[in-house]
Amino acid sequence: MNITLKVLLDSTYLLLTFGIEVEGLLDEHLARLREIAVKGRVRFYCSTVTWIEVIGKVCGENQRLKIDLGETINTAIKSLLTSGKYKLTDYS
């Protein structure tokens, strides 16, 4: 019997999509997560509520790194929503 585990990701994992490094999270960890998702063992969800924290952090990093905030956000959101790796969920 195959069971697909539903996992709600917090901002830690979403920040990587925006190019923001997260201490303690290694590429090998992400590779393992991708592997189990491809095998259908897990389905990743991200909450619309998490966007508040993500956008705040991205804005802070924008000031520190002097990056193009608009382009970074557009690219990352497009990646999140069209990659098929995450499903957006809402609590309302």
**Whole-number pLDDT of residue 91:** 60
CATH code of domain 5-89: 3.40.50.1010
**Whole-number pLDDT of residue 85:** 77
Q: Rounded CA gap, 89 and 68, in Å?
A: 28
Q: Map out the domains of the chain as residue ranges.
A: 5-89
For 58-61, the CB contacts below 8 A with 24+ separation are 58/15, 58/18, 58/20, 61/18, 61/20
**Whole-number pLDDT of residue 42:** 93
Which stretches of the chain score pLDDT less than 50? none
φ/ψ of 42, rounded to 5, equals -145, 145
- How much is the pTM? 0.70
For the segment 39-56, what is each residue's pLDDT rounded down to a tens digit? 989 999 888 888 788 888
